[in-house]
Amino acid sequence: MTLEIVRVPVLSDNYSWLVREAQTGAVMVVDPGEAAPVLAAAQARGWTIGAVWLTHWHPDHVGGAAGVKAATGARIIGPEAERAKIVALEDGVGEGDTVELGAQSARVMAVPGHTAGHIAFHFDGAGAIFTGDTLFSMGCGRLFEGDVGQMFANMQRFATLDDATSVYCGHEYTQSNGRFALSVDPDNAALVARMRDVDALRAAGEATVPTTIGAERATNPFLRAADADELARLRAAKDAF
């Protein structure tokens, strides 16, 4: 495997992602909401974190960045557009930039909406994307700083990725998102089947992410929305669900 990716639960329902590039052994962490669990996960594997990659400024995603840096000397990389809100940010990046992890590189995608400067990191060669709080398993992020048009454009971009692309998002929201999805798309056989699996996983205390672009294409009402107006209706309904 080109990238070894470890899910690290932090806070109440967040996931940080510890990533090691196999060829060089380079390690980074995406969105460390807390430092201690991330550092412990790395130490347990004998890994040394060399970088912190941030998708957006919210405290549950950046709260552990300074602590990871203090313990490891890791370089903190994140959205230049949110530099004023991320005190620990060192290297700012934006749309079209490339960030290296050993022998692998990720393309930065600007995906505003949840926050104004939100970004995603897409490892095309490794078939992985880190979407923060923009694309969730069967959902999308709330629109705190952006608009529906931006979020629809994001969903359209994600939908162009290969079906096999693994999606690493920031929260364990799948079960609640799936219940909403069933309320608006009850005759979707793929969704019904997926929710059976999700409910079984959660009953066993297991995680439901990563997901894949293919699974989202089949079951995520926000990714399947035909236009921005439909997404707006869905987002309003989900906010009140």
**Strand 128-132 to 166-169 pairing:** parallel
Measured CA to CA, the distance from residue 121 to residue 107 in angstroms comes to 6
Residue 118 assigned to a binding site:
no
pLDDT digits (tens, 9 = 90+) for 199-221: 999 999 999 999 999 999 999 99
Domains of the chain: 3-240 (3.60.15.10)
Residue 60 assigned to a binding site:
yes
Q: Show which residues are catalytic.
A: 56, 58, 60-61, 114, 133, 171
pTM for this model (two decimals): 0.97
Return the SS3 of 170.
coil
**Strand 75-79 to 91-93 pairing:** parallel
21-50 core/surface letters (b: 16 or more CB in 10 A; e: else): beeeebbbbbbbbbbebbbebbeeeebebb
Residue 227 assigned to a binding site:
no
Give the CB-side neighbour count of residue 196, counting CA atoms within 13 A.
Answer: 5
Residue 124 assigned to a binding site:
no
Tokens at 172, concatenated = 């364990």
pLDDT digits (tens, 9 = 90+) for 153-189: 999 999 999 999 999 999 999 999 999 999 999 999 9
Residue 171 assigned to a binding site:
yes
